[in-house]
Amino acid sequence: MTVSAPDRNAAGIQAPAHSSTEGIVTDEASLTPIVLKAMAGTTDPRLLEIVTSLVRHAHAFVQETRLTEEEFEKGLDFLVRIGKATGEKTNEAVLLADILGISSMVSLINNHRGDDATASALLGPFWRANAPHCENGDNIARGESATHGIPLAISGRVLDKQGKPIAGAHVDVWHADPIGYYENQDPSQPNMNLRGVFTTDAEGRYSLRSVRPAGYPVPTDGPCGELLRAQNRHPYRPAHVHFMVSAPGYRTLVTQVFADDAEHLNSDVVFAVVQSLVGRFAETTDEKGQRRATLQYDFILEPGEQKFPAPPIP
Q: Which is nearer to Fe ion, 122 or 166 (CB)?
A: 122
Assign residue 40 a region (left: φ > 0; alpha: ψ between -120 and 50; beta: otherwise): alpha
Classify residue 54 as exposed, middle or buried by CB count within 10 Å of its CB (0-12, 13-18, 19+).
Answer: exposed
Question: Cβ of residue 298: shortest distance to Fe ion, in angstroms?
Answer: 21
Binding-site size for Fe ion (CB under 5 A) equals 1
Q: Which of 124, 204, 213, 235 binds Fe ion (CB under 5 A)?
A: 124
Q: Which is nearer to Fe ion, 272 or 300 (CB)?
A: 272
Q: Which of 188, 170, 171, 168 is nearest to 179 (CA)?
A: 188
Contacts of 104 (CB under 8 A, 6+ apart): 98, 122, 270, 271, 272
Q: Which is nearer to Fe ion, 143 or 217 (CB)?
A: 217
Please give the angle made by the CA atoms of 89, 241 and 198, to the nearest 5 degrees.
100
Question: Cβ of residue 30: shortest distance to Fe ion, in angstroms?
Answer: 48
Nearest residue to Fe ion, scored by beta-carbon proximity? 124
Q: Which is nearer to Fe ion, 165 or 180 (CB)?
A: 180
Q: Which listed range, 31-39, 86-94, 121-129, 130-138, lies at the site for Fe ion (CB under 5 A)? A: 121-129
Question: Identity (one letter) of the amino acid at 203?
Answer: E
* DSSP state letter for 95: H
Q: Which is nearer to Fe ion, 92 or 160 (CB)?
A: 92
- Cβ atoms of 175 and 131 within 8 Å: the answer is no
Question: Cβ of residue 53: shortest distance to Fe ion, in angstroms?
Answer: 31
Q: Determine if 279 is a binding residue for Fe ion (CB under 5 A).
A: no
Question: Cβ of residue 238: shortest distance to Fe ion, in angstroms?
Answer: 10
Question: Cβ of residue 125: shortest distance to Fe ion, in angstroms?
Answer: 8
Beta bridge partners of 95: none
Question: Cβ of residue 124: shortest distance to Fe ion, in angstroms?
Answer: 4
Question: What does the per-residue mask of binding to Fe ion show for 139-178, with x meaning CB under 5 A?
Answer: ----------------------------------------
- Cβ atoms of 150 and 179 within 8 Å: the answer is no
Binding residues among 74-93 for Fe ion as defined by CB under 5 A: none
Q: Which is nearer to Fe ion, 124 or 223 (CB)?
A: 124
Q: Report the distance separating Cα 258 and Cα 202, nearest Å.
A: 27
Q: Report the distance separating Cα 262 and Cα 242, nearest Å.
A: 15
Question: Cβ of residue 282: shortest distance to Fe ion, in angstroms?
Answer: 21
Q: Residues in the site for Fe ion, rule: CB under 5 A? A: 124
